[in-house]
Amino acid sequence: MPNIQKQIDSLKAEITRLEKEQQKAEQQQKALREVSAKISSLLKESGISFESYITHHIKRVSRIVGKLEAKNSTKSAAQAGKTSKTRNPKKLRRTSKPTITIKIPAGRYGKLPNQPETVFEVKEKGPRPKVLKAYAEEVGLETFLDQCRMN
């Protein structure tokens, strides 16, 4: 219940703030109309065209116009970012098939078909020779151990 009352109070405060803003904007519009009418009448009385008046104050006018355009462009960019969030679809990538790695146990290996005289020493820790690993993957670990293990 107190939460609802707080919301009501905040909405009332927001309404009063917006009403004050509206009154201020109306007063500003009224003042601008009066000033514009005075400027027009003064220009007519003195025989000066509005174009010459603007060209006389071109630096001030162009600065103001630049500020307004920058303000509008940042507002529109911010609004565009908020209203339309586009997601780039993820590009499909080829996934590699998981390679089955064969762990060759430590020991001495030889009698490989492509290198029959070479003896390879495999330690507990450390890299396994690529030739051994390739042949073990080709024929299978069990047959590799039966054929090539020297211990």
**For 98-115, b where at least 16 C-beta lie within 10 A, e where not — what string?**
eeeebebeeeebbebeee
> pLDDT band for position 2 (50/70/90)?
confident
User: 28-42, 70-84, 112-126 — which is least confidently predicted?
Assistant: 70-84
Q: What is the DSSP letter of 148?
A: H
State pLDDT tens for residues 44-72: 999 988 888 888 888 888 999 999 898 88
State pLDDT tens for residues 115-149: 888 888 889 888 888 888 888 888 888 898 898 88
Residue 73 pLDDT > 60: yes
Half-sphere exposure of residue 100: CA atoms within 13 angstroms, side-chain side: 5
Q: How far apart are the C-alpha atoms of 23 and 86, rounded to whole Å?
A: 39
Q: How far apart are the C-alpha atoms of 126 and 48, rounded to whole Å?
A: 95
pTM of the model: 0.40
